[in-house]
Chains A and B, each alone.
Chain A
């Protein structure tokens, strides 16, 4: 079991090396990158916006409902919403959700190409199939922090709307709380995490799709396994990065 895991990790790093070998012609790669930006980034904006807005609202309501002591100021609702959304919800939990959305899309599309011999066709033609299939995804996901930036904004906006229009706090109190003790490094920390999660989101599902064997059933199975491993890796890296960047 352990040997299998170590072998898989080694194979994953060999795949990373191969992705950057023998580049595809720029004129072809450019179109592939635009297509991936459309599929992975633009295609995710709707669901990210929806989830962020409503979860931001729920965070604000939950905080308000737990502030039962009249000595605790109401501006804490804005403060708690900002901290939760910027530090954890937007970068980490949206990434776990994207492991399901983007990850299963990547695994199933590459896996289907594997079972229908399209990857063999690329290799036989002399194309570096890993570079052709995975490199554009990595480049497209460099725009992933942009998605997370939108998620942060909409999360806080959702919190403000739920707090104010739900009658839990006033607009001034929420905004004061949202600006209270703001540490700019938290944004740096959040976007740094996001970039690393973007790399994991592009490569782990690709790995599971590229090296899968079997037929249609195995494509579905590979998508599930890929979601589990991408989520586990994101959560593990989240812990390590938080300890390294904020813990010391």
Chain B
């Protein structure tokens, strides 16, 4: 479980996060949604320790990040898996080397054991014939799957995904969403996803945090988002006719 208490973060005198508090639950896909500039990415990067909030606390199963020693922070980071928006695979490494990288860095496993684990996670993300390819030789959807495989290879307790569906076709986007949800449940991970994609909200949003202008405007489940009267949420989520109709159909049921 990740508990966020009243975090604030500014850049160049402009407050981006204005005191956000929430809890991201274990074994659930927690989504952060909101318009561009609402503070989603700053929130995610604060959770990852890339940005340091000016006030407030972030605790990982009781461990308050800002109170940890540098070595403890690095140890905590080995419990984190991250899927970046652009996948952030290492260009000079093959798919198998990318996935095995965290194991090579942080375990004492020999090469055959690492290879075994790499094979297992690549199979888990349905990629069995790309081991020796470079990231530039595979499609965007495959790169995302490799990024997920790399994020879970070390059995992380926390999985963060920044716009995992951006730039993907609808079919691949659904596959990626389902894969993240399955992995979250299978390994009982605390998963936090930053997304714009309303399909993801409807498909896998077990807990949704809606940010607006750096503040928590609403939070709830995907069932609750259909029933909410919150104006900001309605204006953002149901801006398209398709989702308006989906909502109407859901409410009629």
Contacts and interface: CB of A to CB of B under 8 A. Distances in A.
B77 A126 contact: yes
Contacts of A22: 71, 74
Contacts of B168: none
B82 A121 contact: yes
Interface string A110-127: 001100111011011111
Interface in B54-103: 71, 74-78, 80, 82, 84-86, 88-91, 101-102
Contacts of A112: 91
A124 B77 contact: yes
| Chain A, interface SS category | helix
Contact of B88 (A27, A116, A126): A116
A114 to B, nearest CB: 11
B75 to A, nearest CB: 7
Contact of A117 (B49, B71, B84): B84
B202 interface: no
Top 8 nearest A-B pairs (CB, nearest first) are A126-B77, A117-B88, A121-B88, A126-B74, A126-B78, A124-B82, A117-B84, A118-B88
Given A126-B75, A126-B77, A117 B105 contact: no
Interface in A165-193: none
Interface size class of B (residues with CB under 8 A): 20 to 34
Nearest to A25: B105
B74 A118 contact: no
B52 to A, nearest CB: 13
A125 B86 CA distance: 16
A24 interface: yes
Nearest to A132: B105
B48 A125 contact: no
Interface string A87-122: 000000000000000000000000011001110110
Interface in A17-66: 22, 24-25, 27-28
B88 A120 contact: yes
A100 B9 CA distance: 39
Given A28-B104, A118-B90, A124 B48 contact: yes
Interface residues of A, number: 18
Contact of B84 (A25, A28, A121, A127): A121
Nearest to B71: A22
B86 A117 contact: yes
B78 A125 contact: yes
A128 B74 CA distance: 9
A123 to B, nearest CB: 7
Given A117-B84, A118-B88, 20 more contacts: A24-B105, A25-B105, A27-B104, A117-B88, A118-B89, A118-B91, A120-B84, A120-B88, A121-B84, A121-B88, A123-B50, A124-B82, A124-B160, A125-B78, A125-B102, A126-B74, A126-B75, A126-B76, A126-B77, A126-B80
Contacts of B77: 123-126
B91 A28 contact: no
16 contacts: A118-B91, A120-B84, A120-B88, A121-B88, A123-B49, A123-B77, A124-B80, A124-B160, A125-B77, A125-B78, A125-B101, A126-B74, A126-B75, A126-B76, A126-B78, A128-B74
Interface in B129-146: none
Which of B74, B82, B84, B88 gathers the greatest number of chain A CB atoms within 10 Å? Answer: B88
Which of A112, A118, A120, A124 gathers the greatest number of chain B CB atoms within 10 Å? Answer: A124
Interface in B99-119: 101-102, 104-106
A109 B183 CA distance: 33
